Amino acid sequence: MTLDNHDSRLKYYHLLMQLAADVEIPEYPLPDGYAFTTYADGDRDTWIAIEQSAKEFDSYAQGLDAWARYYSRFTDRLPGRMLFITAPNGEKVATATAFFDPKAPDGDGWLHWVAVRRDHQGKGLARPLISRTLRRLRELGYGKLYVSTQTTTWVAARLYMDFGFRPTAENWKESLLGWRILKTLTHHPALSALEPLSLTEMLVSTQS
């Protein structure tokens, strides 16, 4: 069975990871023709379109709700924090934000809403995007960093572990089956202590 990189057939578990302050962040170059840029006025709909293309939202309305929840109060802080990658034709096709918990703006740093437009996935954009955003968080003075993801976006979760993110102690206990799903799909060495699951144990039941 072939799974998509954003697959709702997998059982959903929230996965929370942290990156220790002493972990070195590797640097990855962008492919030729691509470039980094940052948020500018009017980029709300661009951000929603990228996230919707990456299957983070089912509709534009969901994107508006997410924008209102996370960013609408902080648009003055988005320049230099909300990063985009532009394609050779100038279109913005990927995004991630060096952010914080909106409920605690003066707290820890968070890698936020990483997404690559579907028609530009597989071109080597994700690692440079994550690297640049993590480095920006460090430039802003954050030590320990966090990222929130889920089993349904298991490819992204594997990437975060490649950068050195590890489960928080609390989430390891709360979402142990989720981490076992990730172990089964990725065989990541960071999860070597876990036992894998069968395909049936990982998938949402289709029985009525």
Res 208: pLDDT: 41
pTM over 0.85: yes
The domain total for the chain is 2
| CATH classification of the domain holding 101 | 3.40.630.30
Res 205: pLDDT: 82
Q: Is the same domain home to 196 and 115? A: no
Token couple for 8: 């709702």
DSSP E strands in the chain: the ranges are 14-19, 35-38, 82-86, 92-100, 109-116, 145-150, 166-167
Q: The domain containing residue 110 runs over which residues?
A: 24-143
Res 118: pLDDT: 96
Backbone dihedral region for residue 166 (phi beyond 0: left; psi -120 to 50: alpha; all else: beta): beta
Choosing from 116, 143, 170, the residue where a domain stops is: 143
- Using 70 as the pLDDT threshold, list the residues of the chain that sit under it: 206-208
Q: Is the same domain home to 6 and 44? A: no
Residue count of the chain = 208
In this predicted model, what pLDDT tens digit does every residue of 105-129 receive, in sequence order? 889 999 999 999 999 999 999 999 9
d(CA 103, CA 2): 38
Q: Which amino acid is it at 136?
A: R
Res 1: pLDDT: 79
Res 207: pLDDT: 54
Q: Is the same domain home to 125 and 50? A: yes
